[in-house]
Amino acid sequence: MAPRPAWKGYLKLSLVTCAVELTNVVTHAERISFRVLNRKTGNTVNRVYVDAETGKPVGDGDEIKGYEVDDGDFVHIEEEEIEAVRVESSNMMSLDGFVDKSSIQQIYLDTPYYLAPADKVSLDAFAVIRDAMAARKKAGLARIVLYRRERPVVIEPLGNGMVLTTLRYDNTVRQPDTVFADIKPVKTDTEMIELAEHIIDKKAARFDSSVFDDKYEEALLELIRAKKAGRKAPKAKAAPKPSNVVNLFEALKQSIAADNDDAATLAKPAKASKPKVAAPKARPAAKSKSA
């Protein structure tokens, strides 16, 4: 079954418009989820809103959103009033500017979505916008109202479709200097840097997402299987603590040696058993001329 779109609307480049839809890149369908149970009865538990003052349950019809404008003073907002709030980006993403994707700092990138044409009529216009951005190697900037918040986004070609990534607002991002300010400058040794570079070169690889697996999820599954079978929960193995690096230069050299040993072990073919060779016969001693 096709995933349900997270948003439907239009993508606009100047006077060119096409219907599009967003689909979540990430799925949580396969993740382990737990329900809250009553320990005594084993029954599932429902969450109920209660009045903070009286402690009595509040029915669905009596719930209303409120915004606190003063201490204990709220403005009541109906659900229909929120739904009625509309701005242009509620259903229209206008490509207002184009940038190199690499120019956007990683700290501003938030959530990715797949962007695809919503119908066959929109396919041509969608393809023109996609291929033009691909030809110029540019990503488009736009805005979208998603989950009741307007968000800046960056859009870039991806195969036959595009990928849209929501961006974080500047005032919500903690700048690096506020965290890294206490890291003092260090004069690094050139030879040690070269050793570290050598290790990096030896471990260079292409990114392959299929090699990653969720070991925590696997451990949870093992716990569930054990409990279901009436066995005791498996004991977790404590991760070995790394030893303190006393001599950084020696640690780098040992790392290279260890990598070389591992590579040699993997590359070395199995030794074939050598055929036994008979020992050479001893030669008879030469006769002396005087004899």
Instruction: Output the tens digit of pLDDT for each of the chain's 291 residues.
Output: 667 888 999 999 988 999 999 999 988 766 788 899 999 999 999 888 999 889 899 988 889 898 888 887 888 888 888 777 777 778 899 999 999 999 999 999 999 999 999 999 999 999 999 999 999 999 999 999 888 888 999 999 999 999 999 999 999 999 999 999 999 988 888 888 888 888 888 888 887 777 777 777 777 788 888 878 888 877 777 666 666 555 777 777 788 777 676 655 545 554 444 444 344 444 444 444 443
Token readout for 146 is: 């998603």
Tens of pLDDT, residues 111-145: 999 999 999 999 999 999 999 999 999 999 999 98
Rounded to whole angstroms, what are the CA distances from 14 to 7, 70, 126, 205, 223? 21, 44, 13, 42, 56
Triad 37, 38, 41: Cα angle to 5° = 120
CA separation for the pair 249, 9 (Å, rounded): 58
The label of the residue with tokens 């003073």 reads 73
Token readout for 94 is: 């206008």
Architecture of the structural domain at 7-28+87-172: Beta Barrel (2.40)
CA separation for the pair 117, 81 (Å, rounded): 30
Detail the DSSP E strand segments found in the chain.
Answer: 7-13, 16-24, 65-70, 73-77, 92-94, 97-99, 109-117, 139-146, 149-158, 161-167
CA separation for the pair 104, 119 (Å, rounded): 31
42, 51 Cβ separation under 8 angstroms = no
Give the helix/strand (H/E) hosting 199.
helix 190-202
